[in-house]
Amino acid sequence: MTKTHSRAHIRLENQTDVLSFISTLSKFEDSFSIENANGSHRVNAKSVIGVMYTMIDFPEELYLVNETNNGFIPAFVDSYRPTESQIFKVA
């Protein structure tokens, strides 16, 4: 059985976003992970290699999870949330 948890949908566009995101997230003592939409793939959200991997493997479905304090998502993460137009791209 999979453990349920709160998570935040995020979007990281490039290496600069990744480095800035990790730098700010690393100021928090909590453990964070990034997972895909169904939670089958997870990486340490404070790992540059792990986060870069997620951008290649599942770039449209990045979800931040606080492993230590379920439901606590730092306020700075709001600036990394996808806009509606990014989620629902019009063809």
Q: Is residue 86 part of a domain?
A: no
The residue segments making up the domain with residue 15 are 7-70
Q: Is residue 20 part of a domain?
A: yes
Given phi > 0 = left and psi -120 to 50 = alpha, else beta, which region is 39? left
Above pLDDT 90, what percent of the chain?
77
Place of tokens 């991997």: 53
Give the Cα separation of 58 and 41 in Å (integer): 9
Q: Is residue 83 part of a domain?
A: no
How many other C-beta atoms can be found within 10 angstroms of the C-beta atom of residue 66? Answer: 21
pLDDT in tens, 17-51: 999 999 999 999 999 999 999 999 999 999 999 99
Angle CA 41–46–48, to nearest 5: 85
Confidence of residue 1 (pLDDT cuts 50, 70, 90): very low
Residue 5: the pLDDT is: 85
Q: Is residue 16 part of a domain?
A: yes
How many other C-beta atoms can be found within 10 angstroms of the C-beta atom of residue 20? Answer: 15
Residue 3: the pLDDT is: 65
